[in-house]
Homo-oligomer: A and B are copies of this chain.
Amino acid sequence: MKIAIAQLNFLVGDIAGNAAKIESAVRQAESAGAELLLTSELALTGYPPRDILLNSAVIARQERAVKELAGACRKTALLLGWARKAKAGGKPLHNSASLIYRGKILATHDKILLPFYDVFDEQRYFEPGSAVTLVKFKNLRFALTICEDIWNDKTFWARRNYRQNPLEALRKIMPDACLNISASPYWVDKPGLRRRMIAAIARGYRMPVVYANLVGGNDELVFDGAGMAFDAQGRLLAGGPMFKEGLLYVDIPVKKGAPSLFSYLISNHYSEPAPLGNGVRSSFVTCYNKLWPPFSSYQQVTNEDLTPLPSSVAQIYDALVLGLRDYVVKCGFSRVTLGLSGGIDSALVAAIAADALGPGHVLGVSMPSRYSSSHSKKDAQILAKNLGIHYWTVLIEPVFKAYLKIFKKIFAGLSANITEENIQSRIRGAILMAISNKLGHMVLATGNKSELAMGYCTLYGDLLGGLSPISDLPKTLVYQVARYRNSISDVIPERVFTKAPSAELKPNQTDQDSLPPYDLLDRILDSYVVKGEDRARLVKKFPKKTALKVLKGVDSSEFKRRQAPPGLKISHKAFGFGRRMPIACKIEHS
């Protein structure tokens, strides 16, 4: 039996578009001779659908789509992720995987473990299932599971939040394979963890595991795809690439009277998106505002390449490129604009945008003030030239002067302070928004996680835009990822890496006038924000004064983050939806 594992990129809420894409995948799997196709979790709605799930029309539309797809599955069965209505008296829906074939639903599994931590809200919508569903299809007994269902098994690693391990019952049952459909968002090095965990489960339960995952960016979340299959010895049989759309095939020999543990042929291939059919692609293009740039930076994956995953920085870079592209295009935009300061943050964002959308779709704007150094202007210009993006220079001095005149009058007698610094940042923001309004570009914010953590940024100034692509990268990681990008082609001038970071909002300013050295700051932030360590641990690990300054900086700038643009999550804990802090509060740390 040949199984196809989908890595498809869905638009959240677009049931008809997503169903059409799935149907084209079914067609392709059919013509490739696959007998079963696995979609990702909640494929029809896209993930995360959030409160769209509370719209009854969306749920009804989904039911129609399931029926239509069932009719369309003549030769290839489909394991489809969707949100189905639950019985009255509990939460309204189940997060389900239905095996559909020749007009019928053969079996349905309802997700048992519903994640609720970090960015997840599944207990807001779904009633849990009670046990893994087993289904016999073409003489093979498959166990159906959804994402989190397999993440609480002690074989390798277990979450500490659930009392139940849905896999436990499979020890006795010994299915011929365990199928898992997921929408497992990316964070750095998670794909390696996922592989090792699933391999351990396959080996531990002596059953093959076939795993399908969503690909694409949906708001803050980027999904890496990377479908895979393991044999009962935990050996990798098939591994799809990260951040790439397409179908992954794995061949399985089925004998008459098949043994309960069957072996796979070590043979698979990965197909490019093109064969998904012109229908899909063209409806996609229409829906996404006539722009869906080719994934030209990726190469065909061969078996030999499967085992090693890309390096962490390469993973992150690819995640940011996909996340930026999907956000921009799925919001109906095709062009972006950003301020180029001559610093490393805007340089990296410009490079990501150029790689994601094509340099012709990116406009970099240099907006020097009286405090801007000559090297800043020069470096911005060289970067734009190297990337081949559009480049404008707009002097903010006349507007700045007009504001200063007002301030002189209304703030008579008061000395200059952060006010005069912020206004420069806000003038730049207003100019970028004017470009957005006039030309239909999306503005990209260029701030990093270290700044956002400490509130070292200007609300309605540099913290402005439709998307903040690198807001989950601490400053030290910004440098590393920028280095990685330069290793592909040398686009960011060397001086941008070596000069002292500065906001250049007053004479001779550097970031370290206000912030601890970035290498120390980022380690403290990793401890407090990402690992969630408490004050006692912080003051033990780091210089006390600095640790407490960082703690206070993070706590007191929540109001800025609440109004920040969405950022792309690439760490275990990003600011935004997965970190829900009150604003008007006083956190007592000891």
Contact = CB atoms under 8 A, between A and B. Distances in A.
B430 A287 contact: no
Given A124-B580, A331-B559, A422-B437, 13 more contacts: A12-B584, A13-B587, A14-B588, A51-B581, A90-B162, A121-B121, A399-B402, A411-B439, A426-B426, A426-B460, A429-B460, A459-B464, A466-B559
Interface stretch (A236-244, A339-347, A488-496, A563-571): A563-571
A141 interface: no
15 contacts: A12-B585, A16-B588, A52-B585, A52-B587, A55-B587, A57-B589, A91-B116, A92-B161, A218-B585, A398-B406, A417-B438, A426-B433, A429-B460, A562-B565, A562-B566
Interface of A: 11-17, 46, 48-52, 54-58, 61, 88-92, 116-117, 121, 123-124, 160-163, 217-219, 287, 326-327, 330-331, 392, 394, 398-399, 401-403, 405-407, 410-411, 414, 417-419, 422-423, 426-427, 429-431, 433-435, 437-439, 459-460, 464, 466, 532, 534-536, 559, 562-566, 579-590
A50 B581 contact: yes
A465 to B, nearest CB: 9
B56 A579 contact: no
A218 B422 contact: no
A434 B460 contact: no
A124 B114 CA distance: 11
B590 A91 contact: no
B403 A430 contact: yes
B583 A566 contact: yes
B460 A430 contact: yes
Contact of A438 (B54, B411, B430, B536): B411
B326 A584 contact: yes
A506 to B, nearest CB: 14
A124 B123 CA distance: 8
A447 B9 CA distance: 37
Contacts of A394: 406, 410
A61 B327 CA distance: 42
Contacts of A57: 534-536, 588-590
Nearest to A365: B410
A496 B13 CA distance: 42
A14 B16 CA distance: 50
Contact of A584 (B90, B218, B418): B218
B89 A163 contact: yes
A403 B398 CA distance: 8
Contacts of A54: 532
Contacts of A13: 582, 585-588
Nearest to A121: B580
A402 B195 CA distance: 57
Contacts of A437: 417-419, 422
A50 B582 contact: yes
B435 A430 contact: no
A566 B91 CA distance: 28
Given A14-B585, A438-B419, A532 B117 contact: no
A396 to B, nearest CB: 8
A290 to B, nearest CB: 15
A161 B89 CA distance: 6
What 3 pairs between A and B have smallest CB-CB spacing? A330-B584, A12-B585, A419-B437
Given A163-B90, A434-B422, A460-B464, A11 B402 contact: no
B410 A399 contact: no
A406 to B, nearest CB: 6
Contacts of A426: 426, 430, 433, 460
Contacts of A562: 565-566
Of the listed residues A61, A163, A394, A402, the one surrounded by the most CB atoms of chain B closer than 10 A to its CB is A402
Contacts of A418: 437
A560 to B, nearest CB: 10
B219 A58 contact: no
A58 B589 contact: yes
Contacts of A92: 161
Contacts of A464: 459-460
A46 B584 CA distance: 11
A22 to B, nearest CB: 15
Nearest to A555: B13
A254 B411 CA distance: 66
Contacts of A48: 582
Given A219-B582, A582-B12, A582-B13, A588 B430 contact: no
